[in-house]
Structure 1
Amino acid sequence: PTSQQILGQLETHNIFLIPLDNERRWYRYHHLFADLLQQRLHQQQSDKVAELHSRASAWYEDNGLEIEAFHHAAAANDFERTERLIEGAGVPLHYRGAAVPVLHWLESLSTTVLDARPSLWVIYASALFFVGQHTAVEQKLQAAEAALRDAEEDDSTQDLVGRIASIRATLAVIQHDLETIIAQSRLALEYLRPDNLLFRAAAAYTLGVAYHLQGDRVAAGQSFTEVLSITESLEDSIYTMAAATNLGQLQAADNQLSLASKTYERVLQLAGDPPQLIACEAFLGLARIYYQWNDLDTAQQYGQQCAQLMQQQESIDTFASYGVFLARLGLSQGDVSGASAALHEAAAYIQQHNFMFRMPDVAAAQVITLLRQGNLAAAASLAEKQELPLSQARVYLAQGDTSEALILLAPLRQEMEAKGWQDERLQIMILQALALQAHGDLDQAVQLLGEALALAAPGGFIRIFVDEGLPMAQLLSETAVRGIMPDYCGQLLAVFAAEGQKIEKETYLPPAQSLTDPLTERELEILHLIDAGLKNKEIAEQLVISLNTVLYHIKNIYSKLGVNKRTQAIARAKELNVI
């Protein structure tokens, strides 16, 4: 009888069969019966076990079930077939969600077996990297190199040398070791076979990251574009998403916000639903763009999606960048203490992980926050300590030392123009215009602001102007009166007016009147959640912020209300009509 006939008889008699679909085309045995059959097979026909696993592997592969095919090939101890299945059709299994079973199989192999097949050592290293066990990777790479010393040199062994170099370059990206990234990426591209698209894409990507870190945005863009070209024939390549994300960052830095938003949206389409972790940076990129467009609700939504993915991985880069975004969003909403808390947490995280490369971005946002709080001394000290020229110029402006600000900004602008860094150039021009206005040179200030507006208009920038406050509103009014980009000036002034009305309206709310130091919007939000009975961890989850940030806000609430317990805080807040 055929298998189908046997299945029909078993189903008719209801014997140990469990259907897997409504059409009753697929079945499995009851697990106890399956265990019994396996036991019988090993007892009575143990010599056929490997052959049956091989047949099962071939059937699964023919039917497109590669992970199942891998499991049976591994059970048959068919190393050649197992390795071929792991490698896949261009994209290895451990890149497609099967890293753990691949690692379990590799861990079961003896050193003798691995040494006989150096390619398995390389797969081992790659899979370890993919699951985040970075410290164990180098040992496997060295084992592969040792095994290769006795191997005959041919295209295959050269390709393995290229793979080893590519993995080392990727490791160096985590450590921001530029010299190693560049050297190993170039070595990889020299040795990898032309048809090894995945590893060639990886090497081109890491080279792009190195150029980006060096500040060579043109070369970085060329490398990331090359990655996209290489991966056209690869389905759902992680390097396609990584390169596109980096291209989006370069486009945003070039003030091409609309183009960058489309690039990020493409990444999200590739990342699927629910999105892969790599989508985290694309969500953050969109959050920053919508913030600049003054669509704060959409910006916050994208930021929350970034935060949700960020909690599932340890990315210091993203954590720091997200802290800066959160601070800017908080400042735009008047939540100065919330902004300060977000930046404090980001700075502590960077120091804890010794990732000082990202500290300048956080420190620059801290300077703006300190100036908003009126703490000039702390702002000046931080700007000097971190050697942040733009921040130092802001401090000079706040101190009324416009001459020093102008002296500092002029060569800085020339440097950014020479590099072609459009984002930095625009920010400097805005600060120069404000400094000229404060210096009493209104004509030059208006002229320069007009140039800045012309640069910013194609990207639809709003917050970069509005965040500068009342002096910018005054300068925009003067610029509009002189007929320079009146429509754009009017659009920006309308945002100032709307935010001014909002502030005025909030001034008359009763809660703030009874407190010397009023509660911020975020503190009020947390107070309401405490009143609703939520625990600190639940508050953090609902607001998509860390537990440390919640505790920071609660400490401020207690201080402002003069209490030291939750129940006292609620009672005092109700007395003051705060809630």
Structure 2
Amino acid sequence: DEERRWYRYHQLFANLLRQHLRREQPERVAGLHQVASDWFARAGYRDEAIEHALAGELFAEAAALVADASSELVIQGEISKLLGWIGRLPAEMLSRHPQLILNHAWSVLFRGSPAEVETVLQGMPAAVAETMPYSAYQMVIRSTLASRQGQPAIAVQLAEGALTALAAYERDPVSLVMRGAAALNLAYGYQRQGDTERAVSTFARALRLNEEAGNMLAALNAARGWGQLLLTQGDLAGAEARFRAGLALVADQPRTLLAAPLQVSLGQLCLETGRLAEAESLLVAASKLLALSGPVNQSEGLVALARLRLAQGQPAAVEPLLTELQALQRQAPGGYARDQLDQALASTETALLEQQPDPGWRALLANQLALGVADPLSAARGWLALDQPARALTLLAPLTTVTAQQAAAGSWLVAALLRAQAHVALDDEAEA
């Protein structure tokens, strides 16, 4: 009806009539889907237009509609929807739409499948891939890929190259989005190289560029990255200000999925500073939203919620969260996503074991660490919780032999404190 609600038997009779049509007049089906798709497209109902085009196997029309919608879907974080539509299109249709190929690459990257990125990009015709702006756009995607694979030098080089190339290109909506993404990669790269001064100024630049582009997903990531960098410098007030300023950008959309990662960061900060009621409000809301997201973001919300439950003295409430994390781990593809899920499980099991020394938790954590955890700090914490300080020291020693610039990035201090804890456990108080 006019409120977009179904009459009670509408769907039942609609399905019956469709079955009758397919049986009695199958030759009319595609034409009727074409009419419906055109009508929905003119009326502004994008999703319905695409669904009718796909249902009628009008793949050229469907590919054009999906391509037009793809940038907005990526910016809004609706990765699963975009990948679902792409999966229903013949591969040859994608090559006709370079922007759709780029957004397909972004989608598999954000889903946590970095190994698929190059395969997707290779689907772009060479004549297009080697010309501006698509050559620069691919540099931005590959810069993001390098950043996620722990290669900050490559990420910085590619991001700087893309920004230089795009500086001479017109400032259309897509190029603005790509500039903002490149600036964000540059900020992360500087941070991981220990150049915190340049990282702070570049996070600010990335925030401005992405706001201008209307890319709220990247703008909020810039605000979050900026705040997390301030946390490593001990500036809790500055970090909280950045997190709250980021959330203010989407204050008119309090239930948007885009806000959820920032809500997790702010919730964790509230937890660390003893504001458990506000932490509860933020983390519960974020976890509900992140259930619609990919496994990496979802796991971060579950870990934060588990830590909150432990702080509230509710270790039993952590068990179902661990079960969810284990299910996500089984579903996660290899590479980046699997590494993040392994780390999430290990850190949650460690926190639980530290509060409740149960043989079952010990066995669970020992098994996870034996399988491997990519993050050495998470693994070291786990070995300390298992009363195996010597194994923790093996991981921590390289992390505390760094330059002063790298030490400023923050992780050096955490590693040094854990190393001191390990030496105390080994009765080596002088070294501690």
TM-score range, shorter-chain basis?
A: 0.5 to 0.7
Deviations along 1:323-347, one digit per CA (max 9) or x if unpaired, are 996799599x999842777899778
In the TM superposition, residue 221 of structure 1 has moved relative to its aligned partner by: 1.9
Q: What are the Cα deviations for residues 516-549 of structure 1, in whole angstroms up to 9, with x where unaligned? A: xxxxxxxxxxxxxxxxxxxxxxxxxxxxxxxxxx
1:185 and 1:164 map into 2 onto residues whose CA distance is 10
| Count of residues paired in the alignment | 367
Q: CA deviation at 1:257?
A: 1.8
Alpha-carbon separation, structure 1, partners of 2:306 and 2:194: 20
Q: How does 1:146-545 map to 2 (within 5 A)?
A: 147-149=125-127, 151=128, 157-192=131-166, 193=169, 194-195=171-172, 196-235=175-214, 237-268=216-247, 270=250, 272-274=253-255, 276=257, 279-280=260-261, 282-291=263-272, 293-295=273-275, 298-299=278-279, 313-315=294-296, 318=300, 322=304, 329=311, 337-338=354-355, 349=368, 352=371, 354-356=372-374, 358-360=375-377, 363=380, 378-379=388-389, 381-382=390-391, 384-387=393-396, 415=404, 419=408, 424=413
Letter in 2 for 1:121: I
Residue type matched to 1:173 in 2?
S
Residue 42 of structure 2, aligned match among 37, 56, 59: 59
Change (3 A) 1:136 1:235: same
Distance in 2, matches of 1:105 and 1:324, equals 35
Which residue matches 1:126?
Answer: 106
Query: Do 2:207 and 2:223's aligned partners in 1 also have CA atoms closer than 8 Å?
Result: yes
Return the match for 1:86 from 40, 50, 67.
67
SS across alignment from 1:315? helix
Deviations 1:239-295 (A, max 9, x none): 11211111111222333322322322344553855452762464244323542x344
Displacement of 1:361 in angstroms is 5.4
CA–CA separation in structure 1 for the residues paired with 2:116 and 2:87:
13
Residue 112 of structure 2 corresponds to residue 138 of structure 1: no
**Inter-partner Cα distance in structure 2 for 1:209 and 1:344:** 36
C-alpha separation in 2, matches of 1:345 and 1:124 = 37
Query: For residue 35 of structure 1, what is the aligned residue in structure 2?
Result: 18
What is the CA distance between 1:108 and its match in structure 2?
A: 4.1
Instruction: Tell me if structure 2 keeps the 8 A contact 1:122–1:164.
Output: yes
Separation of aligned partners in 1, 2:234 and 2:362: 25
Shift of 1:93: 2.7
TM-score, normalization: structure 1? 0.50
1:142 shift after superposition: 1.8
Name structure 2 gaps, 5 residues minimum.
316-350, 421-432
Report the alpha carbon displacement of residue 58 of structure 1 after superposing the two structures with TM. Answer: 3.7
1:255–1:422 Cα contact (<8 Å) kept: no
Pick aligned residue for 1:107 from 84, 87, 103:
87
Structure 1 unaligned spans of 5+: 1-18, 392-410, 432-579
1:254 partner letter: Q
Distance 1:57 1:185, change over 3 A: farther
SS at match of 2:295: coil
| CA pair 304-68 structure 1, distance change in 2 beyond 3 A | closer
Q: After TM superposition, give the deviation of residue 227 of structure 1 in Å.
A: 2.0
Larger Rg: 1
TM-score of the pair, normalised by structure 2: 0.63
1:551 maps to none
Q: CA RMSD in A?
A: 5.1
Q: Deviation string for 1:473-501 (max 9, x for gaps)?
A: xxxxxxxxxxxxxxxxxxxxxxxxxxxxx
- For residues 60-86 of structure 1, give each alpha carbon's deviation from its aligned partner in whole angstroms, at most 9, with x where no partner exists: 33xxx3323444555584747853663
SS at match of 2:123: helix
Distance of aligned partners of 1:359 and 1:325 in 2 relative to their CA distance in 1, 3 Å threshold = farther
Whether contact under 8 Å (2:177, 2:215) holds in the other structure is no
Structure 1 residues 211 and 105: alpha-carbon distance in aligned structure 2, compared to 1, 3 A threshold:
same
Percentage identity across paired residues of the two chains = 20
- Distance verdict in 2 for CA 1:286–1:259, change over 3 Å: farther
Shift of the 142–187 alpha-carbon distance from structure 1 to 2, 3 Å rule, reads: farther
Q: Distance in 1 between matches of 2:286 and 2:129?
A: 48
With a CA cutoff of 8 Å and minimum separation of 6, indicate the structure with the bigger relative contact order.
2
Contact 1:204 1:227 in 2 (8 A): yes
Contact 2:177 2:210 in 1 (8 A): yes
- Structure 1 residues 31, 160: CA separation in 2 closer, same or farther (over 3 Å shift)? same
From the superposition, tell whether residues 206 and 42 of structure 1 become closer, same or farther in structure 2 (CA, over 3 Å).
farther
2:77–2:217 Cα contact (<8 Å) kept: no
Q: 1:387 to 1:102 in 2, by over 3 A?
A: closer
CA offset digits 1:40-73 (Å, max 9, x no partner): 9965767954762463144233xxx332344455
Distance in 2 (CA, whole Å) between partners of 1:285 and 1:346 is: 28
In 2: Cα distance, 1:53 partner to 1:256 partner: 56
- Give the match for residue 539 of structure 1: none
In the alignment, the residues of structure 1 paired with residue 24 and residue 78 of structure 2 have an alpha-carbon distance, to the nearest angstrom, of: 28
Q: Secondary structure at the match of 2:396?
A: coil
Residue 238 of structure 1 and its aligned partner are, at CA, apart by 1.1
Q: Report what 2:3 is aligned to.
A: 21
**1:346–1:208: structure 2 CA closer, same or farther, 3 Å change rule?**
farther
